[in-house]
C-alpha cells in the first residue's frame, strides 16, 4: 500500500501542466550509463499483511519474565502519560523548530528539558540532546580538548565499555589519543578508579578525565577526588552519570564536574533493542560557545509576548560549516520530550522513590543471594542499584537461566577477562520480591 | 530583525531577562513553564513501598554514605497528571506539523508518517527487547535488522551496510571515518588530507570533514547547477581523500554528469561519498552502489517516512562498496546459520525460516569501531522496515515518480512570479529565489516565509543552499494531494502579489500565529537557556564575560 | 554611501584609524549590515601580535559567522571591553563606539596598501 493520494487523472493533469508526456520523461536527466538496472524487492503489502509480518518478527523475540539486566539500559516504569505526550502528532510529526512562530510547543518543551537536566546535574547549561550517552560522552571529551587546547583524553575503565569504544572512534577523527585509567579489579577491591592512577595518567597534555558514577560495575566512584586530580593537572572532569540516581546522589556540578554526559533512556524510554535513546550533555555557561548540539533560549516577540527560539546557532554546522564544533543536525528531540514528560510525571518525590526502590531491591537481591550462599560481592565499597557479584560458573548458569526466561544480569567477562565468573545484576522499582526469589531458586538449581 | 528597545536585563542573562523578575520587563506569557505550575506535594505517578522483608534484607547491606547524597532534592515540577497533560496538550496546540498542514521544507522530505509504523514500533516484543539480552532471546530484533539491511542494499545497489549511525550527519561521520581507514590501510593516510565538497553542500558535509581531521575544499557549481567538472578535475589530486556530493543536488537537480564525476574521483584514488538526503527523488531510477559510489548515507527519517519528532530521532545507515566493507562499524547483525536467499524469500511470503539463526558479528578487525552504543536507532528500523514492506517494489518506484512530478508541477506554476535560478527539469524539490521581490519591493525571502505562516502552511526551507540568493527551497513530497499543491500555488502567488502592492503587510507577518517574530539577536546576546527558580541569587555569568576559548582556525 | 574619510579600508571590510604610531581598527558598516544583528565578538588578547590580513578574531551574528582580518600588523595594546556585553555597538556605531582594538603599528607603510573612503565606497557599491 502506498500513501500517495494521486489518481491517474491527477497525474495526467500534472504531466500536462509540466509539459511532458510520461513520468519517465521526468527522469531523462539521468545518464543512460547509470540508470538503475532494476531491483528485486518484495511486492507491496496490504495493512493486515504488514502487521502479520511485524508480528512474526516481534514473536521471535522472547521478552524474559524475570530480568536483572542493566549494563547501561534499564527497565523502569514508563508512566502511561508519557506515551500520550510523545504520541501527539504536533510533537511527533513536526520538524526542527526553524520557524519559531509555529514551533513554540517544541521550543518551550526543549527549554523545559534543558532546565530539568541542569537541575538534576547541578550544571548551568544543557543541550537539546545527543544521540545517546556514549556519543554525549565522546562529544564532551572532544569539547574538553577544545577548551583546554590539549590533545589527549583519559578515561576510567569504570566507564561503560561500549562508551569507551565510541570515545576511541570519535577521538580517532581529530587524532586525539585515549588513555585508559584502570580501576581496582582486585577481589574485595574498590572496583573504582584509583585517584593515584588517575593523577599519573593526567599529564599536562591531557584535556579531561572521563569517569562514571555509578560506574559500569555499579560502584560509586570518588568523584570529588577525581575532580581535584583533574583540576590539579589543568584538565576537566567529564562525569558520566545515571539520571535516576541524581534523585538522591549529589549533583555533578556540586562535586566539581566541568562537563556532564549521561544516557537518558531510564527516563521514560523503552529498551527498544538499543535505540532510539537520548544523550544528555551539560556544562558551565563559560564554555557554552564550544558546546555541540542545539540550544533553545527565551526571548520576546514584537508584541511583548514571551517566546523561545533556537539560539547560539553560530556554533552549529548550518552556519559554521567546517568550523563547527560538531556536525550534529538531527538529534533525539522526541526522546528528550519523553524524558521531560517522565520527569514531570514522577516529580522529585517520584524520582526519589524510583531511586530508593531500586537501591533497596538491589540490596535485597544481593543479600538474598549471599544468604543462600550463591554469590558474594566482587568488590568492596558501595554500589548504587547494580552490583557485581562473584558467581561460580557464571556463564554456564546464566545461559541455563536464560533458557528458562530469567536473565541473570550481564556477564562482565565479555569486556573484562579479569571478571570471569561474575554477574552484573541490576534492580529497579519494577523488580519484585518474587523476581528475586525466582532468581535464587533458579541459581540454586544450577549449582 | 532587532527590537528597538532591547529588554532590560541583568548581566547574567539567565531566566530573569525575560520572565519579568529581577528588573526584566513584564511579558505576556502564552503558556507558562511547567515549573510555574508546580505546587509542593502534588504528583502524578506513585510507586509502591518496598516490602518489610526487602527492607530487612537490604538493611544488612552497605547503605549509601551521607557524603554522596544530595543536600537538596532536584526542583522537578510537582503537578498532577491532569495538569501535566493539559500543559503538554496546550504546547502541542502551538505547533505546526505534517499531520495538520502542508510542510514543504526542501531537503527534509516531510512526507506523511504512516501510523502502522507506530503500531509496529510499539509492539511489546520489539519495544521491550533489551539490546544486551542473550541473542537467543533477540532473534526477532536481529532478523528485522538483517532484513532491513538486505532491503536497503537492494534499493541502493551497495553490497554492504551499517545500520549503526543515528542520523544522517552521523552516517556522514561513519562514512568518512571509513574513507580515512581505507586510505591509511593503503599507505595513503598521511598524504590525503583534503575533502572536496560542492559550494551547494549542506553544512554537515564540511563539518563532518573537520571532525575526521580533513581540510575542506569547496568546488564551484556550473551554470546548470551541477558541480563544475573542470573545477573538480583541477582540484583532484593525490592529496584528496574524498568527494562528498549530494545527488540530486541541494538545488533539486540531478547531476547529469555524475558518471564522469565519479570516474574522475575514483581515477584520482579518492573515495566517492554520496549524501543520500535526496533519495526520495531517485528510488528505482538510480542506484548509487551500482554507479561507482563507495559510500552513501540514508536518512530513514526522510525517504523512509520515520517521523521527525521536532528534530529527531532519525537514523542514518550507510551503504558501502566492497572496498570499504572491512571498515564498517561493529557489531553487524548477521545470518550465521541458514540460507540467505531462503530467509529473504520466506520473509517475502510472511514466513519464518525455522533453522535460521542470527547473531551480532563483532569479529571485525579492520572496523572503525563504534559510532554509538548498541546497534543503532532500532525503533526507527522497525518503522522503516514496515514502510518498505508496505510500499514494496511498485510503491517505492511510485514514491519518486509522484515526488518528482509534484515538484515540477510547482515549478511550472510559480516560475513566472518567482525567479528560478536554474530553469530546468527538477527532481523532488525546486529552488526559487526571492531576489525579484527583494530588489523590486524590499520584501525578502524571510518576509515571504512569515507571510506563508499566516496562511496556515509551513514555509519552505529558506536561505539554503547558500549559492542561491534569497533561496526558497520547496519539496512537496509524494503524499500531498493536488488540491493542497494548488492551494500552495495560490498562496505563493497571492504573496507575490502582495509583495508588490502592499509590501509593508508582508513585512509585518506573521500576525495570526501564537507568537510573532521573535528577537533572535537578544536571545543570542543575553542567553537565557534555563528556568530561573525564584530566589536564585547567584546566576551564572553570560559567555560574553568569559575568557574566549581557542582562536579560530584559518 | 559615504564612509568616514579619515579611515583606511581593507577588502575584508575592516577599517583603520591611524594616530601616530598607534592605530584603531574595526569593521565597517557594510560588514555589519551584511552580518545582521551582531551577537558576539571574539576579541584578540592584549599583547597578541597581528599580521596584516591574518585572522585576529571572530564576529558572530544570529545567522552568520565571520573571521576578522587584521588590516595592519602590530601588537594589540587595548581591546574594546564594551563589546563583550554590548556587541550591538558594531551595528549601531561601527566606526566610533564599536571600535575593536588598538594596536601599536609594526609597519606604518602598510596603510598605504589599503583603500581610501572613495575607493571603498566604489568597492561596495
The reported pLDDT for the residue numbered A326 is: 86
| B362, C91, C104 from C8: Cα distances, Å | 64, 19, 16
Structural domain tally of chain A?
2
Q: What is the pLDDT of residues B362-387, one digit of tens each?
A: 999 999 999 999 999 999 999 999 99
pLDDT band at B116; cut points 50, 70, 90: very high
Shortest CA gap C39–chain A (Å): 9
CB B416 within 8 A of CB B456: no
Whether B146 and B245 map to the same domain: the answer is: yes
pLDDT at B548 over 50: no
Q: Is B35 on the interface with C (CB under 8 A)?
A: no
Domain end: A326, A341, A356, which one?
Answer: A341
Let me know if residue C112 belongs to a domain: no
pLDDT band at B24; cut points 50, 70, 90: low
Whether A152 and A286 map to the same domain: the answer is: yes
Q: Is B520 on the interface with C (CB under 8 A)?
A: yes
Q: How far apart are CA A354 and CA B247, in angstroms?
A: 50
Whether A432 and A336 map to the same domain: the answer is: no
The reported pLDDT for the residue numbered A221 is: 97
Crossing angle of helices A394-403/A433-445, nearest 10°? 120
**Residue B69 DSSP symbol:** B
Mark yes or no for CB contact A47/B100 under 8 Å. no
Whether A360 and A315 map to the same domain: the answer is: no
Which residues between 458 and 477 in chain B have a beta carbon less than 8 angstroms from any beta carbon of chain C?
Answer: 463
Mark yes or no for CB contact C60/A323 under 8 Å. no
Phi, psi of B221 (to 5 degrees): -90, 155
Query: Which of B45, B428, B279, C93 has its CA nearest to residue A349?
Result: B45
Residue B547 burial (10 A CB sphere; 0-12, 13-18, 19+): exposed
- Buried b vs exposed e over B319-331: b needs ≥16 C-beta within 10 Å? bbbeebbbbbbbb
Chain C interface mutation, best of B525, B527, B545, highest count of C Cβ atoms under 10 Å: B525
Which chain C positions have a beta carbon within 8 Å of B524's beta carbon? 39-40, 60, 62
Q: How many Cβ atoms are within 10 Å of B535's Cβ, its own excluded?
A: 6
Q: What is the mean pLDDT of residues C68-97?
A: 95
Let me know if residue A334 belongs to a domain: yes
| A72, B84, C13 from C30: Cα distances, Å | 53, 49, 7
Q: Is C57 on the interface with B (CB under 8 A)?
A: yes
Q: What is the mean pLDDT of residues C72-81?
A: 96
Greatest alpha-carbon pair distance for chain C in Å reads 38
| A123, A284, A434 from A257: Cα distances, Å | 9, 9, 39
Let me know if residue C58 belongs to a domain: yes
Provide DSSP, B451-476.
Answer: HHHHTT----EES-STTSTTEEEE--
Q: How far apart are CA B436 and CA B418, in angstroms?
A: 7
Q: What is the mean pLDDT of residues B80-108?
A: 97
Q: What is the average pLDDT score of chain A?
A: 96
CB A126 within 8 A of CB B14: no
Q: How many CB pairs under 8 A join A and C?
A: 15
Task: Please list the residues that pair with B296 across neighbouring strands.
Answer: B274, B319
Which residues between 464 and 483 in chain B have a beta carbon less than 8 angstroms from any beta carbon of chain A?
Answer: 464, 478-482
Shortest CA gap C62–chain B (Å): 6
Let me know if residue B269 belongs to a domain: yes
The CATH number of the domain holding residue C24 is 2.40.50.100
Domain end: B357, B390, B423, which one?
Answer: B390
Phi, psi of A403 (to 5 degrees): -60, -30
Q: How far apart are CA B475 and CA B478, in angstroms?
A: 9
Structural domain tally of chain B?
2
A213: nearest CA partner in chain B:
B68
Query: Which of A263, A242, A159, A279 has its CA nearest to residue A208?
Result: A159
Question: What is the ipTM for the molecules in this complex?
Answer: 0.97
Percent of chain B's residues with pLDDT above 90 = 90
Of B126, B375, B405, Cβ closest to residue A26: B405
Crossing angle of helices B482-501/A8-18, nearest 10°? 40
Let me know if residue C82 belongs to a domain: yes
Q: Helices H, strands E: what count in chain C? A: 4, 9
Chain C interface mutation, best of A314, A318, A325, highest count of C Cβ atoms under 10 Å: A314
Q: What is the pLDDT of residues A314-367, one digit of tens each?
A: 888 788 888 887 888 888 999 999 999 999 999 999 999 999 999 999 999 999
Query: Which of B75, B174, B361, C114 has its CA nearest to residue A327?
Result: B174
pLDDT at B316 over 60: yes
Mark yes or no for CB contact B524/A84 under 8 Å. no
Domain end: B390, B423, B451, which one?
Answer: B390
Name the helix (H) or strand (E) containing A426.
strand A422-426
Let me know if residue B397 belongs to a domain: no
CB B526 within 8 A of CB B9: yes
Q: How many Cβ atoms are within 10 Å of B187's Cβ, its own excluded?
A: 8
Domain end: B390, B410, B443, which one?
Answer: B390
Whether B134 and B238 map to the same domain: the answer is: yes
Whether A304 and A321 map to the same domain: the answer is: yes
CB B261 within 8 A of CB B255: yes
Q: Write out the three cell numbers for B364.
A: 571485525
Q: How far apart are CA A279 and CA A160, in angstroms?
A: 14
The CATH number of the domain holding residue B166 is 3.40.640.10
| B348, C1, C117, C120 from C5: Cα distances, Å | 77, 12, 5, 10
pLDDT at A391 over 70: yes
Q: Which residues contact A365 (CB under 8 A, 6 or more apart)?
A: A68, A387, A425, A427, A431, A436, A439
Query: Which of B530, B523, B525, B522 has its CA nearest to residue B543?
Result: B525
C39: nearest CA partner in chain A:
A312
Q: What is the pLDDT of residues C35-70, one digit of tens each?
A: 999 999 999 999 999 999 999 999 999 888 899 999
Crossing angle of helices A333-371/B52-59, nearest 10°? 70
CB B463 within 8 A of CB C63: yes
B88: nearest CA partner in chain A:
A85
**Residue A306 DSSP symbol:** E
Which residues between 22 and 81 in chain B have a beta carbon less than 8 angstroms from any beta carbon of chain A?
Answer: 25, 27-31, 33-35, 41-48, 50-51, 53-55, 57-65, 68-71, 73-79, 81
**Residue B217 DSSP symbol:** E
Let me know if residue A153 belongs to a domain: yes
Question: Could you tell me the end-to-end alpha-carbon distance of chain C, in angstroms, rounded to an integer?
Answer: 8
Mark yes or no for CB contact C65/A323 under 8 Å. yes
Q: Which residues contact C7 (CB under 8 A, 6 or more apart)?
A: C15, C16, C17, C95, C117
Structural domain tally of chain C?
1
Whether A84 and A72 map to the same domain: the answer is: no
Query: Which of A225, A223, A228 has its CA nearest to residue A240?
Result: A223
Query: Which range of residues forms the domain containing residue A126?
Result: 80-341
Whether A287 and A150 map to the same domain: the answer is: yes
Q: How far apart are CA A248 and CA A255, in angstroms?
A: 14
Q: What is the mean pLDDT of residues A86-111?
A: 97
Handedness of CA B54, B60, B66, B69 (dihedral sign): negative
Of B60, B299, B350, Cβ closest to residue A56: B350
Whether B26 and B140 map to the same domain: the answer is: no
Mark yes or no for CB contact C65/A314 under 8 Å. yes
Q: What is the pLDDT of residues A222-247, one digit of tens each?
A: 999 999 999 999 999 999 999 999 99
The reported pLDDT for the residue numbered A72 is: 98
Q: A32 or B2: whose pLDDT is higher?
A: A32
Lowest-pLDDT choice from B3-12, B200-209, B390-399, B446-455: B3-12
Let me know if residue B88 belongs to a domain: no
Of C85, C88, C91, Cβ closest to residue B545: C85
- Buried b vs exposed e over B70-103: b needs ≥16 C-beta within 10 Å? beeebbbbbbebebbbebbeebbebbbbbbeebb
**Residue carrying the nine cell digits 537501591:** A359
Query: Which of A109, A89, A117 has its CA nearest to residue A296?
Result: A109
Shortest CA gap B519–chain A (Å): 6
Q: Is C109 on the interface with B (CB under 8 A)?
A: no
pLDDT at B232 over 60: yes
Query: Which range of residues forms the domain containing residue B536?
Result: 8-33+514-554
Parallel, antiparallel, or unpaired: how do β-strands B318-320 and B332-337 relate?
Answer: unpaired
Mark yes or no for CB contact B373/A322 under 8 Å. no
Mark yes or no for CB contact A31/B45 under 8 Å. no
Let me know if residue C102 belongs to a domain: yes
Q: What is the average pLDDT score of chain B?
A: 92
Q: Which residues contact A270 (CB under 8 A, 6 or more apart)?
A: A78, B127, B128, B379
Let me know if residue A2 belongs to a domain: no
pLDDT band at C2; cut points 50, 70, 90: confident
Which residues between 59 and 78 in chain C have a beta carbon less than 8 angstroms from any beta carbon of chain B?
Answer: 60-63, 67
The answer for A38, left when phi > 0, alpha when psi is -120 to 50, beta otherwise, is left
Query: Which range of residues forms the domain containing residue C24?
Result: 8-107
Crossing angle of helices B81-93/A333-371, nearest 10°? 150
Shortest CA gap C40–chain A (Å): 9
What are the residue ranges of helices labelled H in B229-289? 229-235, 258-267
CB A332 within 8 A of CB A262: no
Q: What is the pLDDT of residues B134-169, one digit of tens each?
A: 999 999 999 999 999 999 999 999 999 999 999 999
Of B202, B374, B450, Cβ closest to residue A162: B374
Q: Is A153 helix (H, G, I), strand (E, B) or coil?
A: strand
Q: B210 or A423: whose pLDDT is higher?
A: A423
Let me know if residue A43 belongs to a domain: no
Shortest CA gap C61–chain A (Å): 7
Task: For chain A, list the contacting chains (3+ Cβ pairs, <8 Å).
Answer: B, C
Whether A124 and A250 map to the same domain: the answer is: yes
Q: How many CB pairs under 8 A join B and C?
A: 44
Q: What is the pLDDT of residues A301-317, one digit of tens each?
A: 999 999 999 999 888 87
CB A213 within 8 A of CB A220: yes
Query: Which of B263, B274, B285 has its CA nearest to residue B319?
Result: B274
Q: How far apart are CA B533 and CA B82, in angstroms?
A: 23
Whether A169 and A289 map to the same domain: the answer is: yes
Percent of chain B's residues with pLDDT above 70 = 92
Which chain B positions have a beta carbon within 8 Å of A34's beta carbon? 258-259, 286, 290-292
Which chain B positions have a beta carbon within 8 Å of C43's beta carbon? 548
The CATH number of the domain holding residue A354 is 3.90.1150.10
Q: How far apart are CA A313 and CA B289, in angstroms?
A: 35
Query: Which of B382, B403, B393, B385 has its CA nearest to residue B110?
Result: B403
Whether A227 and A278 map to the same domain: the answer is: yes
Amino acid at each position: 500500500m502506498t500513501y500517495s493520494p494521486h489518481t491517474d487523472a491527477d497525474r495526467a493533469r500534472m504531466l500536462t501542466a509540466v509539459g511532458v508526456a510520461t513520468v519517465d520523461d521526468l527522469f531523462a536527466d539521468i545518464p543512460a550509463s547509470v540508470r538503475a538496472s532494476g531491483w528485486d524487492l518484495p511486492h507491496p503489502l496490504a495493512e493486515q499483511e504488514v502487521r502479520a509480518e511485524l508480528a512474526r518478527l516481534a514473536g521471535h523475540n522472547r521478552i524474559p519474565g524475570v530480568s536483572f539486566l542493566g549494563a547501561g539500559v534499564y527497565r523502569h516504569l514508563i508512566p502511561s502519560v508519557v506515551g500520550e505526550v510523545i504520541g501527539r502528532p504536533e510533537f511527533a510529526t513536526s520538524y526542527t523548530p526553524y520557524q519559531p512562530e509555529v514551533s513554540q510547543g517544541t521550543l518551550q518543551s526543549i527549554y523545559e528539558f534543558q532546565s530539568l537536566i541542569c537541575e538534576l546535574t547541578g550544571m548551568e547549561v544543557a543541550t537539546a540532546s545527543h544521540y545517546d550517552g556514549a556519543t554525549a560522552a565522546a562529544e564532551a571529551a572532544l569539547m574538553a580538548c577544545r577548551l583546554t587546547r590539549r590533545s589527549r583524553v583519559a578515561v576510567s575503565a569504570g566507564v561503560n565499555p561500549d562508551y569507551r569504544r565510541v570515545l576511541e572512534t570519535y577521538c580517532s577523527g581529530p587524532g586525539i589519543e585515549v588513555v585508559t585509567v584502570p580501576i581496582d579489579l582486585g577481589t574485595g577491591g574498590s572496583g573504582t578508579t584509583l585517584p593515584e592512577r588517575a593523577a599519573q595518567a593526567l599529564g599536562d597534555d591531557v584535556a579531561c578525565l572521563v569517569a562514571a558514577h555509578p560506574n559500569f560495575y555499579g560502584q560509586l566512584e570518588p568523584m570529588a577526588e577525581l575532580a581535584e586530580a583533574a583540576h590539579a593537572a589543568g584538565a576537566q572532569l567529564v562525569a558520566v552519570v545515571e539520571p535516576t540516581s541524581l534523585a538522591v546522589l549529589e549533583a555533578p556540578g556540586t562535586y566539581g564536574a566541568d562537563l556532564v554526559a549521561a544516557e537518558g533512556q531510564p527516563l521514560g524510554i523503552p529498551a527498544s533493542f538499543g535505540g532510539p535513546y537520548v544523550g544528555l550533555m551539560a556544562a558551565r555557561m563559560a564554555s557554552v560557545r564550544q558546546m555541540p548540539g542545539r540550544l533553545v533560549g527565551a526571548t520576546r516577540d514584537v508584541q511583548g509576548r514571551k517566546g523561545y527560539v533556537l539560539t547560539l546557532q553560530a556554533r552549529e554546522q548550518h552556519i559554521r560549516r567546517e568550523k563547527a564544533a560538531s556536525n550534529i543536525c538531527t538529534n533525539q528531540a522526541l526522546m528528550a520530550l519523553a524524558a521531560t514528560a517522565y520527569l514531570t510525571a514522577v516529580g522529585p518525590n517520584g524520582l526519589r522513590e524510583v531511586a530508593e526502590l531500586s537501591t533497596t531491591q538491589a540490596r535485597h537481591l544481593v543479600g538474598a543471594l549471599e544468604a543462600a550462599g550463591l554469590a558474594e560481592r566482587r568488590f568492596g565499597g558501595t554500589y548504587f542499584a547494580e552490583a557485581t557479584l562473584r558467581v561460580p560458573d557464571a556463564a554456564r548458569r546464566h545461559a541455563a537461566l536464560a533458557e528458562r526466561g530469567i536473565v541473570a544480569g550481564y556477564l562482565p567477562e565479555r569486556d573484562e577477562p579479569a571478571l570471569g565468573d561474575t554477574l552484573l545484576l541490576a534492580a529497579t522499582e519494577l523488580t519484585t520480591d518474587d523476581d528475586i526469589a525466582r532468581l535464587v531458586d533458579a541459581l540454586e538449581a544450577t549449582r | 530583525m532587532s527590537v528597538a528597545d532591547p529588554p532590560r536585563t541583568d548581566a547574567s542573562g539567565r531566566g530573569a531577562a525575560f520572565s519579568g523578575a529581577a528588573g526584566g520587563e513584564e511579558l505576556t506569557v502564552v503558556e507558562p513553564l511547567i515549573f510555574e505550575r508546580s505546587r509542593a506535594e502534588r504528583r502524578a505517578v506513585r510507586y509502591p513501598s518496598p516490602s518489610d522483608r526487602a527492607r530487612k534484607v537490604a538493611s544488612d547491606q552497605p547503605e549509601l554514605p551521607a557524603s554522596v547524597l544530595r543536600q537538596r532534592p532536584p526542583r522537578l515540577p510537582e503537578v498532577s497528571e491532569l495538569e501535566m497533560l493539559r500543559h503538554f496538550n496546550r504546547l502541542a496546540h502551538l505547533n505546526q506539523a505534517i499531520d495538520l498542514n502542508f510542510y514543504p521544507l526542501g531537503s527534509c522530505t516531510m512526507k506523511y508518517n504512516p501510523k502502522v509504523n507506530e503500531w509496529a514500533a510499539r509492539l511489546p516484543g520489539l519495544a521491550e527487547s533489551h539490546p544486551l539480552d542473550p541473542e537467543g532471546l533477540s532473534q526477532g530484533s536481529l532478523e528485522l535488522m538483517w532484513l532491513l539491511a538486505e532491503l536497503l542494499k537492494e534499493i541502493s545497489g551497495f553490497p554492504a551496510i551499517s545500520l549503526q549511525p543515528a542520523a544522517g550527519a552521523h552516517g556522514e561521520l561513519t562514512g568518512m571515518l571509513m574513507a580515512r581507514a581505507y586510505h591509511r590501510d593503503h599507505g595513503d593516510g598521511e598524504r590525503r588530507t583534503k575533502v572536496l565538497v560542492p559550494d551547494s553542500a549542506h553544512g554537515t558535509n564540511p563539518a563532518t570533514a573537520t571532525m575526521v581531521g580533513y581540510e575542506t575544499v569547496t568546488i564551484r557549481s556550473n551554470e546548470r547547477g551541477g558541480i563544475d567538472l573542470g573545477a573538480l578535475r583541477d582540484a583532484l589530486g593525490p592529496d584528496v581523500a574524498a568527494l562528498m556530493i549530494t545527488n540530486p543536488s541541494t538545488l533539486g537537480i540531478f547531476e547529469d554528469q555524475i558518471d564522469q564525476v565519479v570516474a574522475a574521483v575514483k581515477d584520482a584514488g579518492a573515495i566517492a561519498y554520496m549524501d543520500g538526503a535526496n533519495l526520495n527523488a531517485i528510488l528505482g531510477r538510480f542506484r548509487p552502489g551500482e554507479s561507482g559510489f563507495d559510500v552513501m548515507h540514508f536518512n530513514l527519517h526522510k525517504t523512509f517516512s520515520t517521523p521527525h519528532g521536532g528534530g529527531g530521532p532519525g537514523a542514518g545507515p550507510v551503504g558501502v562498496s566492497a572496498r570499504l566493507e572491512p571498515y564498517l562499524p561493529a557489531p553487524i547483525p548477521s545470518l550465521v546459520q541458514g540460507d540467505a536467499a531462503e530467509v529473504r524469500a520466506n520473509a517475502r511470503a510472511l514466513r519464518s525460516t525455522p533453522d535460521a539463526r542470527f547473531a551480532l558479528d563483532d569479529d571485525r578487525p579492520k572496523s572503525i569501531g563504534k559510532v554509538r552504543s548498541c546497534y543503532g536507532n532500532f525503533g526507527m528500523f522497525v518503522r522503516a522496515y514496515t514502510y518498505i514492506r508496505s510500499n514494496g517494489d511498485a510503491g517505492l518506484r511510485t514514491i519518486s515518480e509522484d515526488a518528482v512530478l509534484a515538484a515540477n508541477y510547482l515549478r511550472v506554476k510559480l516560475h513566472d512570479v518567482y525567479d528560478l535560478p536554474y530553469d530546468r527539469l527538477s527532481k523532488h524539490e525546486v529552488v526559487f529565489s526571492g531576489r525579484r521581490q527583494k530588489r523590486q519591493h524590499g520584501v525578502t525571502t524571510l518576509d515571504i516565509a512569515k507571510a506563508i505562516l499566516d496562511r496556515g502552511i509551513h514555509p519552505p526551507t529558506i536561505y539554503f543552499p547558500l549559492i542561491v540568493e534569497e533561496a526558497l527551497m520547496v519539496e512537496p513530497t509524494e503524499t500531498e494531494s493536488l488540491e493542497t499543491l494548488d492551494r500552495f500555488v495560490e498562496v505563493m502567488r497571492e504573496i507575490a502579489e502582495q509583495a508588490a502592492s502592499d509590501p509593508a503587510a508582508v513585512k509585518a507577518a506573521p500576525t495570526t500565529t501564537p507568537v510573532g517574530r521573535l528577537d533572535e539577536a537578544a536571545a543570542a546576546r543575553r542567553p537565557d537557556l534555563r528556568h530561573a527558580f525564584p530566589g536564585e541569587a547567584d546566576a551564572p555569568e553570560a559567555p560574553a564575560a568569559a575568557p574566549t576559548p581557542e582562536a579560530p582556525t584559518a | 554611501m559615504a564612509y568616514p574619510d579619515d579611515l583606511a579600508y581593507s577588502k575584508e571590510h575592516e577599517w583603520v584609524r591611524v594616530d601616530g604610531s598607534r592605530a584603531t581598527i574595526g569593521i565597517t558598516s557594510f560588514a555589519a549590515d551584511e552580518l545582521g544583528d551582531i551577537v558576539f565578538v571574539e576579541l584578540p588578547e592584549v599583547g597578541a601580535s597581528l599580521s596584516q590580513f591574518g585572522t585576529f578574531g571572530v564576529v558572530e551574528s544570529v545567522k552568520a559567522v565571520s573571521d576578522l582580518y587584521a588590516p595592519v600588523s602590530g601588537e594589540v595594546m587595548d581591546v574594546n571591553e564594551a563589546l563583550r556585553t554590548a556587541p550591538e555597538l558594531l551595528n549601531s556605531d561601527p566606526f566610533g563606539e564599536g571600535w575593536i582594538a588598538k594596536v601599536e603599528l609594526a609597519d606604518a607603510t602598510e596603510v598605504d596598501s589599503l583603500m581610501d573612503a572613495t575607493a571603498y565606497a566604489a568597492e561596495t557599491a
